[in-house]
Amino acid sequence: MSTYLLTCTPAHGHLSALLTVARHLRTQGHRVRMLTSVRYAERVRAADVEFLPLPPDADIDLDRPDDAFPERRGLRGPAAIRFDMIHLFLRPAAQQYAALTSALAEVPTDVVLTEPLFVAAALLNELPRDARPAIVALGIFPLGTKSRDTAPFGLGIPPLPGVVGRARNSILTVVAEKGVFRPVVKEADAVARATIGLPLSRFFLDWAAGADALVQFSAQEFEYPRSDLPASVHFVGPLPPSVPHVDVPEWWNDLDETRPIVHVTQGTIATDDFSQLVAPTLAALAGEDVTVVVSTGGRPLSALPPLPANARAAAYLPYAVLLPRTSVLVTNGGYGGVQQAVGHGIPVVVAGQTEDKVEVSARVGWSGAGINLKTNRPTPEAVRLAVRSVLADPTFRARAQELAARFAHTDALAGLDGVLHSLSPRFRRSEEVR
């Protein structure tokens, strides 16, 4: 039996992914601990995982950051990215690190598994290998590894091949690190020196590629090609969805197989304002010969605008039976949801330009599996034209189906096991005993 410590920033989407990993490791008989927000204590313990609380100063609700930082409201573009990097991720790092090192001192640990935005793991990674456990970064959002073949992460700019593309990328990297994100670089360096007495050897969004391993939960075909990809990066395919059983809604039999089904969702977090995507989609498709199926992500149906005659809604939907019948997904660009749709061969219309969604949206457009609307608030006309295009042009579905076939040949958790097997002698011994 091995001992694993998972570290997770206080964000619902991050927790859901890491709990899938934690449950898998527990079923194999390993000891699993998780360091995260006190808000998630019950969910962690329900997974038969030992819960460790983050200190209050590091326990920022990343699902509702404007509550903790009202000055964040209204920020857009680079200003918003800079603010989030500094206040939401870097400044909690010292308290994270204190909790992390305390947890490691209490229990000998074979491997720390972390999502890349848990900055304390980046600090731990700077220590000599014999002074820390193995560190595995879990790629639960698009790959942020710096490359001569890609623009800097966070800009949402797809690759441009050839010498011209590499020159552009080089210039953008300098502009990003020396200009746009210079305050972030300075803050990261100050945090690292104050906490561990060392500078960060990599920009903190790129540190995960320098860990002992980076397990990217996607197929390589859904990611930008990198000729200089580090050997530490392993593509293992999407994580299986961790969705509780959901009954079909009462209106399920209203779905007409002769009409395309368009599913629209803003996920489970960005549901305070349905005017961003759900409302424009309902208005856009009210007169179209389609059936629009809306998920509120748990919000009451009364929070929705009035539904047109061709629309149906539920708080949650049984994706196992809905997605095989869906023709188009309209989404704000959550990484897991987009990959789940593409894994069913469903083309995507995506409208998301915040957090990692700008990078997810860019990959949808680049891959050919859908249309990137390049906005958080599309107009009804833009949604209508995009949905019509995806339904009329078979190349979008064909590309989504190509990716689905690639996804079908992956097993994310088995791939993770293989990486852990290579890093942990204790893991290898336990496998031999079994």
Mean pLDDT of 177-185: 88
pLDDT given at position 366: 96
Angle (nearest 5°) at CA 275 between 274 and 278: 55
| Residue 114: closest CA among 99, 98, 136, 130 | 136
Angle (nearest 5°) at CA 26 between 23 and 32: 95
Are residues 297 and 400 located together in one domain of the fold? yes
Mean pLDDT of 91-102: 96
pLDDT given at position 359: 92
Amino acid, res. 357: K
Angle (nearest 5°) at CA 79 between 70 and 100: 70
In terms of average pLDDT, the best of 88-97, 249-258, 273-282 is: 88-97
Q: Concatenate the DSSP letters of all residues of 40-99 into one string.
A: GHHHHHHTT-EEEEPPGGG---TTSHHHH-GGGTT--HHHHHHHIIIIIIITTHHHHHHH
pLDDT given at position 258: 86
Are residues 87 and 135 located together in one domain of the fold? yes
Are residues 324 and 211 located together in one domain of the fold? no
Are residues 205 and 294 located together in one domain of the fold? no
* pLDDT tier, 244 (very low <50, low <70, confident <90, very high otherwise): low
Count of CB atoms situated within 10 Å of the CB of 404: 18
pLDDT given at position 432: 45
Are residues 130 and 153 located together in one domain of the fold? yes
Domain-embedded: residue 246 = no
Amino acid, res. 14: H
CA distance 336 to 214: 17
Domain-embedded: residue 10 = yes
- Give tens-digit pLDDT for 133-167: 999 999 999 998 999 999 998 888 999 999 999 99
Are residues 398 and 429 located together in one domain of the fold? no
CA distance 162 to 165: 5
pTM: 0.91
Q: Check whether 104 has a pLDDT greater than 90.
A: yes
Segment among 128-137, 173-182, 344-353 with least mean pLDDT:
173-182
pLDDT given at position 1: 84
Q: Check whether 431 has a pLDDT greater than 70.
A: no
In total, the chain counts a number of residues equal to: 434
* pLDDT tier, 430 (very low <50, low <70, confident <90, very high otherwise): very low
Domain-embedded: residue 243 = no
Are residues 85 and 185 located together in one domain of the fold? yes
Q: Check whether 291 has a pLDDT greater than 70.
A: yes
Are residues 275 and 382 located together in one domain of the fold? yes
Report residue 212 CA to chain centroid gap: 21
Q: How many domains does the chain have?
A: 2
* pLDDT tier, 426 (very low <50, low <70, confident <90, very high otherwise): very low
Are residues 336 and 213 located together in one domain of the fold? no
For residue 64, what are its two tokens?
A: 């509702």
Domain-embedded: residue 368 = yes
Q: Check whether 274 has a pLDDT greater than 90.
A: no
Domain-embedded: residue 214 = yes
* pLDDT tier, 272 (very low <50, low <70, confident <90, very high otherwise): low
Domain encompassing residue 265: 252-408
| Residue 233: closest CA among 150, 352, 325 | 150
Q: Check whether 433 has a pLDDT greater than 50.
A: no
Residues 217 and 138: beta-carbon distance below 8 Å: yes
- Give tens-digit pLDDT for 358-392: 899 999 999 999 999 999 899 999 999 999 999 99
The DSSP letter of residue 40 is: G
Are residues 401 and 418 located together in one domain of the fold? no
Q: Check whether 328 has a pLDDT greater than 50.
A: yes
Mean pLDDT of 415-432: 71
Are residues 414 and 396 located together in one domain of the fold? no
Strand partners of residue 3: 31
Domain-embedded: residue 181 = yes
Mean pLDDT of 41-67: 94
CA distance 143 to 135: 17
Domain-embedded: residue 244 = no
CA distance 35 to 52: 5
Are residues 107 and 206 located together in one domain of the fold? yes
Residues 264 and 277: beta-carbon distance below 8 Å: yes
Cβ-Cβ contacts under 8 Å for 219 (sequence gap 6 or more): 235, 237, 238, 403, 406, 407, 410
Domain-embedded: residue 242 = no
The CATH code of the domain that includes 398 is 3.40.50.2000
